Amino acid sequence: MEAFTTHTGRAVPLRRGNVDTDQIIPAHWLKKVTRDGFEDGLFEAWRKDSSFILNQPERQGATVLVAGPDFGTGSSREHAVWALQNYGFKAVISSRFADIFRGNSLKNGLLTVVLEQKVVDALWELTEADPSAEITVDLEKRQVLATGITADFELDENARWRLLNGLDDISLTLQNEADIAAYEASRPAFKPRTIEA
Amino acid sequence: MGRTLAEKVWDDHVVRRAEGEPDLLYIDLHLLHEVTSPQAFDGLRLSDRQVRRLDLTIATEDHNTPTIDIDKPIADPVSRIQLETLRKNCADFGVRLHPLGDVEQGVVHVVGPQLGLTQPGTTVVCGDSHTSTHGAFGALAFGIGTSQVEHVLATQTLPLARPKTMAITVEGELPDTVTAKDLILAIIAKIGTGGGQGYILEYRGSAIEKLSMEARMTICNMSIEAGARAGMIAPDEITFDYLRGRDHAPRGAEWDAAVEYWKTLRTDDDAVFDAEVFIDAVELAPFVTWGTNPGQGAPLSANVPDPASYDDASERLAAEKALEYMGLSAGQPLRDIKVDTVFVGSCTNGRIEDLRNVAAIVEGRKVADGVRMLVVPGSVRVALQAVAEGLDKVFTAAGAEWRHAGCSMCLGMNPDQLAPGERSASTSNRNFEGRQGKGGRTHLVSPQVAAATAVLGHLASPADLSEAPATAGV
Ligand code: SF4
């Protein structure tokens, strides 16, 4: 995973709440067996509408998505995160994320930043008025900065440390092999098995 | 201080706990399917890792599988590649797989319980958000993303922060006409699609205790639609009876030891939940959705709500957008809404009890002219049982299509889809825009409402079928 320290980029203000992962990447895209090439599926249905924000020329190359509350609800598909990343987004800001989406994004190095709705409103106003306005997401300081806006955000220390260092969860867990083996040795015999071990 | 059911199961699976870190949790059962696993197996290959516990892992094909002509090659090349990839991955790594055509094939959340693999007090994960279904057994079960699928394959554990707990207590007797589906739709409408976020829900109270395992699965299945990753119900005699004798249920002395443990899996009287919701069962009625998220629902007897009636600006906007997408207008009686398609199936309502309930209503009746009705069993076992009981004949005699097992129109990854603008009454769990096909309009309903709707051609409950069936029996 790529490390995330700080990122500055232009934004896409997405004034919609409850954006579910079926909207982020429709099911028929889930048939792919790779992690890349999902950029054209991102918000596919909405992008058919030429007035959709992502289609506006001044939003090309934007890397920060500022979305309404409850972003990423619904299906657990990690493809939603890949689609956002493949498209070029580095961070998503919302007042509330669905749990699974948030977990998936942090595992892939897509920073999901929770800010109060009034800050999200301010970011919307700023970036709607000036599409060239940049937003900085600073993970070291846990701060979002834009013209006239400074907002602290929370992210638990462990998740932050892993993102800052780009650490892979599996290697970290395997450092605890002894604990896993000890736990396995104590599992009751009545626990189900799918095949004879 | 006492502990809740969720806390007990959580504590029993902590491999490692350290200050400032998420708990490392052991996973008892890992279910796989073709959609969310290919990139995880690729990751294993790249890092030269094996599947740590093949005996705690099982795969089935469900999302892409066709429900007709299953003996022919799969027409859509992309679906075919995804299934072939799963087959190759399972063969390469040694994972038990139930492919299309196998007697144990079916929707992953139907297969786990029917094999007896889903047991009280276990941790169950799957790269699918409706893994919450398995919580009906008092298991801690939740959906995970593909990175986590890889993590579990490699380590049989997951680092997780402990969620809060919420009690949803349903007291009283559910009216005869009210099903588990109506109950969960009403719960979601009450707490909202974000209401359960960060919580493990525990459904409890006298109304829940009376429910069958199948009804409990319907409820836990939709916990995710309330924003919660998991929903649980304390195991009891109904749970034990369901499990006894199943393929992978413990036997002999192990059964006794298991039951003894399972009986401890109840929230202690002095345990404290982080949040509580109370529902009076008596007040419930058949419930349907009118919008494009599962929280946008109302009793069938109500009218389409007026977006202007919402105080909250974002809810008002969501309602406006939903009505536009759904082609509905405020004030329209829900009962007047005509449908083109009725879908019975999915991991929410594709089990044998659901099919029996539908058959009982359509028996001797006809599906309304111009309405297509699809009945898709949740698994091959469910299909075989239905055939043994003659339910398939009841469906076809009524003019419904009886299909092979799979996810089917629940998400339309296979050819079973709505056309743009087409409207369905569906027993599945998501009414998102385009979920059942681009431009398709979905009303979530119970199996009973689905059946009555198929017969009348508009949203209806069995009580609306005043006239007696044309013929008795089959
Ligand atoms: S039936 Fe629907 S909700 Fe259930 S696993 Fe299949 S696609 Fe997902």
Contact B469, B359 (CB under 8 A): no
pLDDT at B470: 56
pLDDT by residue for chain B (474 residues), tens only, comes to 899 999 999 999 999 999 988 999 999 999 999 999 999 999 999 888 999 999 999 999 999 999 998 888 888 888 899 999 999 999 999 999 999 999 999 999 999 999 999 999 999 999 999 999 999 999 999 999 899 999 999 999 999 999 999 999 999 999 999 999 999 999 999 999 999 999 999 999 999 999 999 999 999 999 999 999 899 999 999 999 999 999 999 999 999 999 999 999 999 999 999 999 999 999 999 999 999 999 999 999 999 999 999 998 888 999 999 999 999 999 999 999 999 999 999 999 999 999 999 999 999 999 999 999 999 999 999 999 999 999 999 999 999 999 999 999 999 888 899 999 999 999 999 999 999 999 999 999 999 999 999 999 999 999 999 766 655 444
- Asked whether the beta carbons of residue B144 and residue A76 sit closer than 8 angstroms, the reply is yes
In chain A, which residue's Cα lies nearest the Cα of B315?
A17
pLDDT at B85: 95
| DSSP 8-state secondary structure symbol assigned to residue B163 | P
pLDDT at A111: 96
pLDDT at A55: 96
Kindly report the pTM of this predicted structure.
0.90
Ligand 1 atom nearest to CA at B108: 5
Contact A134, A9 (CB under 8 A): yes
In chain B, which residue's Cα lies nearest the Cα of A174?
B155
Our CA-based measurement puts residue B381 at a distance from the nearest CA of chain A, in whole angstroms, of 17
Tell me the ipTM for this assembly: 0.93
Answer whether A170 touches B (CB < 8 Å): yes
Taking 50 as the pLDDT cut, the residues of chain A under it are: none
Place of tokens 């009303």: B443
Answer whether A36 touches B (CB < 8 Å): no
pLDDT at B414: 87
Q: What part of A 174-193 touches B (C-beta under 8 Å)?
A: 174, 176, 179-180, 183-184, 187-193
Which pLDDT tens digit goes with each residue over B420-450? 999 999 999 999 999 999 999 999 999 999 9
Q: How far apart are CA B276 and CA B165, in angstroms?
A: 9
3-state secondary structure of B297: strand
- Asked whether the beta carbons of residue A169 and residue B147 sit closer than 8 angstroms, the reply is yes
Q: How far apart are CA A74 and CA A117, in angstroms?
A: 21
Q: How far apart are CA A7 and CA B189, in angstroms?
A: 39
Phi and psi torsions of A45, nearest 5°? -65, -45
Q: Which of B61, B347, B429, B435 to mutate to test the pocket of ligand 1 (most atoms within 8 A of CB)?
A: B347
Q: How far apart are CA B450 and CA B443, in angstroms?
A: 10
- Asked whether the beta carbons of residue B430 and residue A74 sit closer than 8 angstroms, the reply is yes
Answer whether A131 touches B (CB < 8 Å): no
Task: Give the nearest partner residue to B193 out of A22, A73, A184, using CB atoms.
Answer: A73
3-state secondary structure of B405: coil
**3-state secondary structure string, A6-56?**
EEEEEEEEECCCCCEHHHHCCHHHHHCCCCCCCHHHCCHHHHCCCCCHHHC
Q: Which of B410, B428, B432 to mutate to test the pocket of ligand 1 (most atoms within 8 A of CB)?
A: B410
- Ligand 1 centre to CA of B243 (Å) is 23
**E strand or H helix at B16:** strand B14-16
Which pLDDT tens digit goes with each residue over B24-71? 999 999 999 999 999 999 999 988 899 999 999 999 999 999 999 888
Question: Across the beta sheet with B164-171, what order do the strands follow?
Answer: B230-232, B199-204, B164-171, B275-280
Q: How far apart are CA B240 and CA B244, in angstroms?
A: 6
Q: Nearest CA to B297 among B220, B187, B202, B195?
A: B187
